[in-house]
């Protein structure tokens, strides 16, 4: 008798079974939800949004306590804007019912993406979670939230509140899920599962790179580094108010916050005085150097500074400023990569450069964006339409805020751009998304196209709808009697060979987690 041989059995890494189970549950929910009609979808969206908005202040307070970033009042505003505010903005828009174009004889049937994996940041945790959930529900998608480890407690609480409200309003069980204990194998399992239909990544460059390398469709965004041109025609009082309020908003934690003000020489001193009246403190040369050293030790941004008060940052630098100081203004001369103050600053430190002419200011803005922030956003304060047009055409960004603070201008809260917590940076920013993320980006359309010959008549499709409101209670997600998803036992199973791409992705995610751990240790 010949000796029998057996293939060795491998143990799946902790988290993989859980990830697969989450995607399976989401896929089940997505297929059920894709059959819902517009009235039912609207009811579910309203319920989920209200559940978040009703606890907006509580979640804002918890986010600041957990992360140490930002301002409670400002986070409350964002939480409301990204829940009921998003719903009202899209009120009346329909991403469910077929669209009929009788002239061109085309009927477009909405087709949801399916399962969305949303990666969310620590800087705007609850607002981003709510924003992505609302967009997913509007378009009849299931969503799995993978929160930043530094904000996981508040994100879990917010997502669960919205999930409970959605299910109570008739959504399928599992339509909203959230990763409670992130791990490298779990995130990898979610990102690479072929049932994950699209990844929406908001966060640092490593997060976005990992999403794009997952093998699944992904929307990622690049970093900001907003240049702001102020010319001689600007209303300086209004400009100062708008810039300082914007830079101070949530302690500059939005990626849309102003990075460097570029002022025409003829109005530069007056603008600095106007800044001071609005609560800014203009640093002297030696004070600027001290702040630069504390914010950018060894030339790299100090994560301890993220979302901290201006007065606290000044204290760390050994500088005495008024207690109510909102922003530290740091004048410098050269917009070059070697100057740390020309880089993105997620804290209330505002660079300031003088230029002899507005045309030279355009050149400096372009130089700032070559350092970082390509594709993101820029701002200009001016009454000269010719200059505004030249500036907007010259800077390599996809949104330019005019005579408004950029923090809430580029994000669509104080302008008529689509309100968003995810800023697409397009080709220049190495992003597949060139707009502010909107519901339309999470749905495709199957188009019925009739023969264009006028003799071929398209019949009436008015009133026809393939989606019907489910009757009776929605059944719970089916579970086996021995289901142990909440506390998985890693039973031996045959593991498929790991491809080179997946191995590289795991390394990328591992590097990302290591970066975060280093930041936590420094804190």
List residues with catalytic annotation.
255
Q: For residue 3, what is the DSSP state?
A: P
- Alpha carbon distance 127, 413 (integer Å): 13
- Nearest CA to 429 out of 372, 345, 344 is that of 372
* 3-class secondary-structure state, position 429: coil
**DSSP per-residue letters across 477-504:** PP--TT--TTS----EEPPPPPPHHHHH
**CA 255, CA 284: separation in Å to the nearest integer?**
27
Q: How far is CA 173 from CA 36, 53, 73, 129, in A?
A: 14, 22, 33, 18
Residue 307: both structure tokens together:
């979302």
Are the CB atoms for 355 and 260 separated by under 8 Å?
A: no
Beta bridge partners of 355: 264
The first and second tokens of residue 79, run together, are: 């939480």
Q: What tokens does 366 get?
A: 């372009």
Query: Which of the 8 DSSP states describes residue 423?
Result: B
Residue for token pair 């999403």: 211
State both tokens at 226. 């907003």
Distance of alpha carbon 155 from alpha carbon 139, whole angstroms: 22
């Amino acid at each position: 008798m010949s000796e029998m041989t057996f293939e060795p059995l491998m143990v799946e890494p902790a988290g993989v079974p859980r990830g697969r189970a989450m995607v399976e549950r989401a896929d089940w929910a997505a297929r059920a939800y894709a059959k819902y009609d517009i009235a039912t979808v609207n009811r579910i969206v309203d319920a989920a949004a209200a559940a978040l908005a009703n606890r907006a202040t509580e979640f804002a307070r918890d986010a600041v306590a957990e992360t140490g970033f930002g301002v409670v009042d400002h986070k409350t505003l964002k939480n409301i804007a990204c829940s009921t505010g998003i719903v009202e903005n899209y009120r009346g828009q329909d991403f469910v019912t077929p669209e009929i174009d009788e002239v061109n004889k085309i009927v477009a049937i909405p087709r949801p993406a399916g399962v969305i994996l949303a990666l969310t940041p620590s800087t705007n945790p609850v607002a981003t979670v709510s924003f992505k959930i609302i967009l997913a529900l509007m378009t009849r998608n299931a969503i799995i939230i993978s929160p930043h480890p530094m904000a996981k407690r508040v994100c879990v609480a917010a997502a669960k509140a919205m999930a409970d409200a959605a299910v109570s309003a008739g959504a399928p069980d599992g339509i909203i899920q959230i990763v409670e204990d992130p791990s490298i194998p779990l995130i990898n399992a979610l990102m690479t599962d072929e049932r994950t239909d699209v990844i929406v990544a908001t966060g640092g460059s490593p997060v976005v790179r990992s999403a794009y390398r997952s093998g699944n469709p992904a929307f990622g965004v690049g970093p900001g580094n907003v240049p702001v041109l102020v010319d001689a025609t600007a209303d300086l009082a209004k400009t100062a108010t708008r810039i300082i309020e914007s830079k101070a908003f949530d302690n500059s934690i939005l990626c849309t916050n102003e990075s460097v003000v570029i002022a025409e020489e003829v109005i530069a001193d007056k603008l600095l005085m106007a800044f001071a009246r609005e609560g800014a403190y203009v640093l002297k040369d030696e004070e600027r150097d001290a702040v630069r050293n504390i914010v950018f030790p060894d030339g790299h941004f100090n994560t301890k500074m993220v979302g901290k008060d201006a007065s606290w940052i000044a204290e760390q630098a050994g500088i005495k400023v008024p207690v109510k100081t909102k922003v530290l203004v740091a004048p410098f001369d050269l917009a070059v990569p070697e100057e740390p103050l020309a880089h993105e600053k997620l804290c209330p430190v505002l660079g300031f450069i003088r230029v002899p002419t507005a045309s030279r200011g355009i050149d400096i803005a372009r130089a700032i964006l070559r350092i970082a922030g390509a594709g993101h956003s820029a701002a200009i304060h001016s009454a000269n339409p010719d200059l505004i047009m030249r500036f907007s055409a010259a800077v390599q960004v996809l949104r330019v805020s005019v005579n408004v603070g950029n923090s809430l201008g580029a994000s669509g809260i104080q302008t008529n751009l689509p309100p968003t917590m995810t800023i697409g940076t397009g080709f220049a920013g190495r992003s597949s998304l060139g707009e502010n993320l909107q519901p339309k980006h999470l749905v495709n359309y199957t188009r019925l196209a009739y023969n264009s010959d006028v003799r071929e008549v398209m019949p009436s499709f008015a009133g026809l709808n393939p989606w019907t409101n489910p009757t009776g209670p929605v059944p719970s997600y089916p579970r086996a009697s021995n289901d142990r998803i909440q506390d998985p036992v890693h039973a031996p199973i045959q593991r498929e060979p790991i491809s080179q791409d997946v191995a590289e992705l795991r390394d990328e995610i591992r590097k990302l987690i290591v970066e975060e751990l280093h930041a936590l240790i420094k804190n």
